[in-house]
Structures are given as structure tokens and as C-alpha cells.
Structure 1
Amino acid sequence: MMTEQRQREARSDPRAEPDEALITKIRGRYPVERELDRVLTRKMRLRSSPGYRALPLEDLAQGTASLIRSEIGDDFALLNPRWLQGGASKLQMAFDLDWQPPGARDRQVTRMVLRMEPPASIVETSRAREFEVLQLVKDAVPVPPCFWVDIEGSHLPFPALIYGFVEGTTKPTARISQTVSGIGTNFGPELRAVLAEQFVANLVAVHTIDEARLAQLQHFDAAEVGSNSAIIRQINGWRRIWEEDRFEDSPLIEVIAEWLIENAPTLDRVSLVHGDFRTGNFLFSETSEKITAWLDWELAALGDRHQDLSWVTGSHFGHYAEDGKTFLACGLMPVDEFLPRYEQLSGLTVDPKKLQFFRIFNDFQGVVTMLGAAWRVARHGKTHQDVVVAWLSMLGQVILGNLRDRLEELL
């Protein structure tokens, strides 16, 4: 039975208690990739379910053990489960697994991480896709080894995956701050010079994975050279999320979406796009000064390399160097050095017009996430990171204002 408050909310906001007719209408209006359609449809059907509640660590450990048991049998011990901080969209638990891996001669203890969805997330994504991508890129860039996935939440309260624990930090210890991970991170002149080259080389390695290998991805719809269908599907995805999550109309968001559709560029090469390639999403060792792992592949897509390039060189995650004049992409390298270095290492060109398009696309995605998804998740109390998510939702109007100004210059 719905409470009286929820009944009043459903009358004023039909998206709070969506029926099948509304879900079907939105699905038909905005065609997206098959796996994304499954994830978003599931989100809507579960919207009226209870919000986030604190899960006993023991219960989460039992569900994790159930998933592992279904994969390897009973010959293991799950030890020392503990909460792992970090991430505004997923809930994480670290643990140690005493087991004998396939092909190993002896038993060993492996440090692992459970990455599980909350009741609702600011980015509703597919654990199947994330698991598949991590398996694909492990020979190209450093990533955590990925072991098992619970696609439907059959063993755990919600869909989840298990990967290996990787040592490292996202910020220099001496410069740890309380800002959201990746925003304003300052590595200092010496460390940034070392990490910057690895950063560019890793991005190139992701973007130049052979297209024949990309075609093996089972949970991704194909992208086609000479077509803009892949980016159109992404735009439709964010339009659909806006339609599903928004509380009020925003004509400006519709204007931006239409502009993106009309100006969507054709693809000259199919690349794996990380979707959130930046400072804050890689770990590095302060001892070796090596990047040890790339994280958060949940927004990965098959598409245009310029999507990542515009994200990397945008204003959100960079800062000015010590001279107060030179802007550093992701706090690592001047933009006018980063892009030529990328071209040199990859053999691929960087098209300024496509960079401009994807800057608008990326900000459009951010506005939808903050003014739609983040607001909705915080309003319904569906996440363990309610304070962070509510704070993020407030940034949406600022980005929307910047988008308005940029479009006025282009129109």
C-alpha cells in the first residue's frame, strides 16, 4: 500500500510511480541500445520500491559468498569483509578470498572488491557491460582483474561484480583534500610530468583497440564508420533518462538535445570510449610513480574518440599551473601539448569541430545527470551517498547556464 504522501506525490509527479503505459511510451520515443534499454526499464519498474537502507556487512558477505559458490563451488573462505569508501554511484565492500584459483598449484589469499548498485544510482548502467569491458581492456591498460558478475542481482540485493583489489591512490598523500575525487587534484610539477605521459599513452591504448576485438562485445550495439547512429543512440539515452527522471520541464534542455541531433558527426573510426577518463578515475603508486589501475568503466561505449578527448581537456577536472596562466588538462598537461601528443602516439587526428560538439554533449549528459537523475535519487532516498548526490544536483543549473551561453555563440 502506498502511503498518503506517496499517493500525493504520484498524482503531481507520475514518474514517481510509473505505470507500464508510461514506461512503454518513453521506451518507444527514445530508442537506445538493447542493454541500456533493459537497465533503464528495470530502473523504472523498481522506482516505487523502498529506498536505501543500511545493509549489514554480514548480509553482504553472505550474498558475495553465494555468488562465488555458484562459480567455483565450496572450496573457499571469505575473510575480513570491510566497507570500501569512494564512488558516488556504487556501494563497495573489500574482502579477502582464501582459494585455489584455476590453474594455480597452491592456495592463495586474494584481495577483492564487491562493486554493487544501490537501489538507484545517478548513473544507471550495466554490470554486464562493465564486466565485459574490464575483460577486454586488461591487455591494453592496467585495470583490476575481474572475476565474477551477478547481472540480475540473483545472489545479492542488487546487480554487482567482483574484481581484484589494486594498490594505489587517486591523489598525492601530501595533497589530499576534501573535494570530490578528480576535481582540482594537484599532483605538483614533478609527479604530473611522469603521470601525464602514462595518462596519454593509456588513452591512446584504449582508443586503438582493434575493431575486430570490439566486435566481440556481446552487450554493446555495434557502431558504424560513416554513420552517426552510435552517438544518436547515446543522445537518445540521455533524453530518455531526462524524460524518466525529471520533475519539471526545461525547454532549454530540449533545445540542446535537438541541436545535438542535428549536428551529430559521422564516425571515422570505431573506438572504445571510456566515458569518464580523467583524474580521480585512475590509481597510481606514489613509490613507483606508475598508474596501477583505471577504474569506473560503467559509461563505456563504442563510438568516437573525441568524446573522451573533450572530457579530458574540459574545464571540470583541470586547473591552472603554478604560473596562473597555463591550463592543465586533468591537472596533468597543457591542452596545447596534450592533443598533439595524442595525435603523435595514436596516429589519429583530432578534429576541433568534433571536440566542440562533444563538449556540448558531455555537458548535456552532466545536466541530465544532475538535474534529473541525481535530483530523483536524492529525493527518493535511494543511495548511500545522499549528501554527495544532493550536492551534485545543485551544480546542474550552473552547467546549464554555461551551455546556454555556448549555444548562443554557435547559433
Structure 2
Amino acid sequence: MKNIVIGSGPAGRLGSLELGKLGEDVTLIEKNHIAGTCLNEGCMVVCALTDITKFIDENNRFNNYGFIKSQMDISYEKITEKITETQEMLRKLNQMENESVGNNVIYGEAEIEDGSVVVGNETFEWDNLLIATGARPFIPDVKGAEFGLTNKDILKLDEVPEKLNIIGGGIIACEIANIYATLGSEVNVVVRSTFLKDLSAETKRYVLEKIIPHVNVIENTDVVGVFKDKVLTSNDEELDGVPFFATGRTPNSEIAEGFVEINPDRTIKVNEMMQTNVDNVYAAGDVTGGYQLTPVARMEGITAARNMAKYANKVSYNCIPQTLSLNTEVSFVKNEKIDLGDDEKATIAIPGIAGPGAFWKILEGNTGYTEIDFDKNNNKINRINSISPSSTSDVAYLSYLMRMDYDLDDYGEFLEIHPSTDTNYKIIKNLWL
């Protein structure tokens, strides 16, 4: 059967790869660069820059301790140049990976016309169609919005801005604030409501005081005007600095308008099998809304692919782990199926321990923080907020156990590798076993 996939971000790329592995005929169509926002404009760019800021952070710490004496000269131009080189290498590898299972990868802007896909002068018929066109930065309707930068502009900057005003209060806003504050910018974050509202109060406090102490966060404030070198807030305050929008994302669903059912927020409506309301037409990734995370997009793309190949599969969104890529990682997960009352919930908070990457932070009392809510009646984890260099692997592992509905007592058989999973040892064994 002929399978057409439009969009090669995490959902489309992994969906195509899965279809190819299952022996299906696949044509993957990409408008710009393979691997989508994640590699080319999003999380991979943020992670690359955060690798630099972690190094700067460590260098400053060792200088303060007195056993290393060094002076750093940072070239932002050279950093972006090397990120671009790495992206080009990864694009080639991603294309080779898809072609290695027999998939046809073509480039051009796709349009859906009369039950077929048109790219330039070529027309493609399908038995199954997967729309994985992703999303783009959402720009609020504010005067002067055209002056605002977004994550799409990070690699286009010639130098680190002297002053930066980030508009938004979520994960992207925090990560961008961390990067540029570490690189030397004077950073304001202007938040319409609450900064990092998905984190517990104590976890947020730790982030503000220990990880991004030099970032000025202004909550419950709107931006009413944007200029090339300043923003105007609803408090009639003028903040000097380059404006940067981190105000969420909007789906690239225009290709599907009038073809499949669209939700009020412009995302494509799908069921748990990633099916649209049109037979043999599927959608996956950011264009469907929900968790706009690379691992979730991958999961959705693979789910869609299996259903396209007639292997029934459903997607589940419970216990999705998330992280903030900062100089020290902040990871969190919540079991959405459990809503505990005060009589059912117990909360345990512990300071970080000297696990991987934390030894030289002990002297300054900055080794992290972990907070866990659990159902004391049923002995189940409900929520985890964890700050530590190993929190990304710790919380990913624990979120799996949460999804599998393990009791806390079942975690006792976990055997850690010292020191890389020591945090798991402290959380799982010392806390309640």
C-alpha cells in the first residue's frame, strides 16, 4: 500500500521509519529541513547552547574555588556556526536512516488536492496519509509584534544581546532566559500569569534562587507594546532590551483545512489511534496539539504508522515526563489519572545528593531538590519534581514505573549504578522502603 507522510519532524520521521521497517511503501515529503523544529530550531539548538552554558557555569565555579584560573572568551558567532555544521551532519544521517528502510524522501511544499498530494509538478496518490506538519511559534496580537524574536531566530543572531526581554512563562522562556543570562545578557522575563506553573512552589523557588538567580521575572503582567529595543508592559513600565516571544506554539494545520476536522484551537482532531475523521488519513505530532514534546511526537508518529500498516495501536498520555534544560536539569511528571485530596496525599521533599555532576556543587549547597507526592492509601507515586544533573534519566525511569502502576514496594528490586543513578537509590529505597 502507498503511504504518504507530510512533514519530517519527530512524528513524521519516526512514523515513516516505522512504516519502512514494516515493509510498507513510503514517501516522506518535507518542506524545509528533515527532522523538523526539534533539530533545526528547537530543543536540539537549546540543548547545544545549554551545553555551553553548563561549561561556563562549571568554569566559574572552579575559578571561585581557586583550583582553576581561567578567563573565557566566548564567540557566539562560532557557536552558531558549529551548531549549523552539526545540524547539516544530522540531517544527512536522518535522511540516510529513512532511506535505509526503502523510503523515498522528497523536498517541496505539499498540497492536498482531490484525494491526492501535489508537490510542485508531481502528484502522489495514497492508500494512507499521515499529516505531521508540526507547529510554529505563536505571536500574540500586540503592537509591534514584528520586532519580536522567536526560537527560529536564535541561530541568526550575530551576537549575544546586551539586554533581552523574554515574553512568556513556560519551559521555553525559562530555557532561553538561562542561556542568555549565562552568556552575559541582562534578562527580564515578563509573564502574563505565573512563571513555571507546572512546577511545585518549592521547585520553582529553587530554580529562581539557585539556577537562574540573575534573571528578573515579572509575573502577572502583560506586554502591550513591542519595539526593536524595548517592550512596554501593562504596568506602564518600559523595559530596555531585545524582545523575544516564548508564548507557545500554533499548529501548521492550514494544509488540512476543509479536508479533515479541525479543533477550535486550529489543531487537527484525532482519536487515540491518531485517526482523523477521514478514512485512512492520520495526523500526529504538534499539529494535533496536546503535549508538544519530541518524545510524544515520536510516540504518536509510531502509533499512526502501526495503524496505517494494520497493526492496531493506541496512544496513552498518562505520566508524561518533562524537563527544563538548564545548567542543572529540572524534570517533572504527574499521574493525571490520580487527583489526591489532602487526606490521601503525602509529600516528601529531600535535598539533592552528590550524584553525577553534583560533587563540586556541595560546597555551595547547590546539589538540587526533589519533591514527591504519593498516594499513602494505595502506595502509588502521584507526582515528582526533581532538580539534579541526573533528573532527566531519573524521572524518565520513574515515570515508566508510574505508567506501569507499580506499588512503591515493588521499586525495592532496583539496583543502581554508582554514581549515575544514585538519586534513584535515595528516592526509591531510603525514602520509604
- TM-score, normalized by the shorter chain, greater than 0.5: no
TM-score (norm 2): 0.24
Larger strand fraction of residues: 2
Greater length-normalized contact order (CA 8 Å, ≥ 6 residues apart) = 1
Larger helix fraction of residues: 1
TM-score (norm 1): 0.25
